[in-house]
Amino acid sequence: MTVRNLLVRAYPRSWREEYGEELAGVLARRRLTFAVAVDVLGGAARQHLYRDDPWKICGTGLFAWTVCGLLLKWYTGAVLVFPVFFVAGLWTVLRTKSGIFEGGLAAVPAASLCCAPDIIAVLLNGPVPVRHGGAIWYRWGLFVASSLHIDGWQYVELLSLVLVASAVLGLAGALTGKFLAGVRKGLHA
Amino acid sequence: MARKSTAGPATDPELLILSSVAGGPKHGYAMMQEIAAFSGVELGPGTLYTAITRLVEEGWIEPVEASGRQRPYRLTPGGLDYLRGQLERMRQLASFGLRRLRTV
């Protein structure tokens, strides 16, 4: 697979079906420079933003955020994922004009992607006491006051809490989205 | 990647593409070449196809059936109206600005 093919494959599948062959044709007739590659990747990022489901974009970002948090041991960064659940709900309603529940529940798969690296880390490392800074035990353990050790059930509880929190925040985002859509409609009326 | 030392409506990729296809149907590569020739703006392939996608979705240009890898696009009546309106606004702005400059 050539670099040109890889650049075309950076675009969403639905876009590639429509324009992929044309873009490949244009790239084949141009000298491939760093600036051209950056330009094409920028175009691909824009198409992902316009076309992909908001939960996928939020979930991918959260997945990367969690991996970075684990690698850099920046556990307090976990708090910052919660506003993203709100954004996932808000964005879904504004983008797809879906209902409040549909929009709100869009945050749950994003939260699942967010937790996935933690689950993998625990599976690889095994349970580690909170005070020793073990992946998820420490990470989500921040929300459990004065708890230095978390057993398996508490871990399940914490993950469930994250999923429930994502649904609640997603619903709040979806409600806000509906409100903003109503205001926008009123302004244009 | 609209590379030019100045920015503004005269370097807007969508207006440049509409102006290019106003002369007849063209495929992406032909647009890039013509735009570079008449405006000096070198559109990158990513910028070009981002703009083409938006113009098609707005209904201002449409693909023409053709065999081969490159598909030409043509201006629609809606695109013609839009382009005319935008160029008219630019003309008004240019004549106003030039009048002002004469007084400086």
DSSP B24-69: S-B-HHHHHHHHHHHH--B--HHHHHHHHHHHHHHTSEEE---SSS
**Residues counted in chain A:** 189
| No. of helices (H) and no. of strands (E), chain A | 10, 0
Of A1 and A93, the structure prediction assigns the larger pLDDT to A93
In degrees and rounded to multiples of 5, residue A124 shows phi and psi of -80, -40
Under an 8 A CB cutoff, do B29 and A27 touch?
A: no
> Taking the model in full, what pTM does it have?
0.68
> B45-58 vs B28-39: helix axis angle to the nearest 10?
110
Please count the CA atoms within 13 angstroms of the CA of B4 that sit on its side-chain side.
18
Residue A95: the pLDDT is 83
Report the 10 Å Cβ neighbour count for A135: 24
Chain B residues with CB under 8 Å of A36 CB are: 1, 44-46
Which phi-psi region, left, alpha or beta, contains residue B24 (left: φ > 0; alpha: ψ -120 to 50)? left
At residue A91, the 3 state secondary structure works out as helix
Beta carbons within 8 Å of B16's beta carbon, 6+ residues apart = B2, B35, B39, B41, B43
Please give the class, per CATH, of domain B9-102: mainly alpha
Chain B positions in Cβ-Cβ contact with residue A21 (cut-off 8 Å): 69
What's the mean per-residue pLDDT of chain B? 88
CB contact under 8 A, A15 and B29: no
Q: Which residues of A touch B52 (CB under 8 A)?
A: 19
Rounded to an integer, what distance in angstroms lies between the CA atom of residue A8 and that of residue A19?
9
Q: Do B46 and A26 touch (CB under 8 A)?
A: no
Kindly tell me if the per-residue pLDDT of A150 is higher than 60: no
Least confident of A72-76, A129-133, B18-22, B71-75: A129-133
**Maximum separation of any 2 CA atoms in chain A, in Å:** 64
Q: How confident is the model at residue A129 (pLDDT cuts 50, 70, 90)?
A: very low
Instruction: Give residue A186's pLDDT.
Output: 83
Paired tokens of A26: 């244009």
In the block, which residue shows the tokens 């994250």?
A: A162
* Rounded alpha-carbon distances, angstroms, from residue A121 to A65, A116, A118: 14, 9, 5
Rounded to the nearest angstrom, the minimum Cα separation between A145 and chain B is 50
CA distance A10 to A1: 13
Which ipTM score applies to this complex? 0.83
Hey, is the C-beta of A47 within 8 angstroms of any chain B C-beta?
yes
pLDDT at A12 over 50: yes
**pLDDT over threshold 90, residue B19:** yes
A17 contact B CB<8A = no
Q: Which of A21, A36, A47 sits opposite B44 (nearest CB)?
A: A36
Q: Which of residues 61-80 of B touch A (CB under 8 A)?
A: 69-71
Query: In the structure, what pLDDT confidence band is assigned to residue A104 with cuts at 50, 70 and 90?
Result: confident
- The pLDDT score that the predictor gives to residue A145 is 35
- Compare CB distances from B69 to A22, A40, A41 and report the shortest one's residue: A22
Contact with chain A for residue B45, Cβ under 8 A: yes
Residues in chain B: 104
Instruction: Answer yes or no: are the C-beta atoms of B44 and A35 closer than 8 Å.
Output: yes
